[in-house]
Amino acid sequence: PEPGEALLSVRGVTRRFGGLTAVDEVSLDVRQGTITGLIGPNGSGKTTLFNLVTGGLPADSGEIWFDGRRVDGLRPWRRCHLGLGRSYQVTRLFKEMTVRENVVAPLADSRWRTMWSDAVRGHEAERARELLGLVGLGRFAEQRAGALSYGQQKLVELAQVLMLEPKLILLDEPAGGVNPSMLDRITEVIRELNANGVTFLVVEHNIPLVLDLCDQVAVLAGGRVIAEGPPLSVRQDPAVLDAYLGH
């Protein structure tokens, strides 16, 4: 898609758990080139929506389109192939392996291996080093991942996701549990990547950060989108204030 057109389009998606409708007829576009924020009180459906988009959970109804294709019937790794990357709220690194080994770890899975472009395949080590440099961790490449700070581990995970050359990265709480100076570093890296063409959908509890970082924000409450638009308009929306204060 051209800048400004939808890269990800969630259309009328619903997901129930027993009698609870966690995601209720949600429609949401993430436009190419944006950093789009997804906020909402606890239990509003953010994680469920992420899992529906990446394929960890099937939707009960609705459609999900990514980069011009319908993807809601595809397995998670197929979606990843198409350029849909994600990070997790809690890092999932192999603590005993080196930072560089972690970055190339997705290669161990033959399904991932096939998705690598020729430019990357056979040059994994160089690419890993390049990406670690990009996230500011070049000098830690040969250290044990578990020896890094939590914030640094989040950056390692970002480098790992970048190995898969995603068009869109879903970030789950990039600021969670990270100290303030590391937080600045993480937001700087997100901005740099965005300037280089990566689109982001970010779930984050730190509202000031979301308002600062994102150019579009969608607000969930009770599984529904109650507001969306630029940060300045969303922060003044009475329905949004109500959803947070009433919680």
Site residues for ligand ADP per CB under 6 A:
17, 20, 22, 40, 42-48
Distance of closest approach, residue 146 Cβ to ligand ADP, in angstroms? 27
- Residues 71, 79: contact at Cβ < 8 Å? yes
Number of neighbours of residue 242 by Cβ within 10 angstroms: 12
CB closer to ligand ADP, 136 vs 176: 176
b/e per residue 72-107 (b: at least 16 CB within 10 A): bebebbebbebbbbbbeeebebeeeebbbbbbbbbb
By beta-carbon proximity to ligand ADP, the closer residue of 10 and 137 is: 10
CB of 18 to ligand ADP, least distance (A): 7
- Is 158 strand, coil or helix? helix
Cα(first)–Cα(last) distance of the chain, in Å? 38
Q: Which of 23/193 has CB closer to ligand ADP?
A: 23
Which residue, 37 or 45, has its beta carbon nearer to ligand ADP? 45
- Closest approach, Cβ 204 to ligand ADP, in A, equals 11
Based on its alpha-carbon atoms, the radius of gyration of the chain, rounded to whole angstroms, reads 18
Nearer Cβ to ligand ADP (46/79)? 46
State in angstroms the smallest separation of the CB of 53 from ligand ADP: 12
**Three-class SS of 176-216:** CCCCHHHHHHHHHHHHHHHHCCCEEEEECCCHHHHHHHCCE
- Residues sharing a CB contact under 8 Å with residue 17, sequence separation 6 or more, in sequence order: none
Going by their DSSP bridges, the two strands 216-221 and 199-203 should be labelled as unpaired
| Minimum distance from residue 42 beta carbon to ligand ADP (Å) | 5
Cα separation, 121 vs 119, whole angstroms: 6
Least separation, in Å, of the C-beta of 87 and ligand ADP? 15
How many whole angstroms separate alpha carbon 68 and alpha carbon 79? 12
Minimum distance from residue 38 beta carbon to ligand ADP (Å): 9
Burial class (CB in 10 A: 0-12, 13-18, 19+), 63: middle
Give the nearer residue to ligand ADP in terms of CB position, either 46 or 185: 46
Is 122 or 177 the residue whose CB approaches ligand ADP more closely? 177
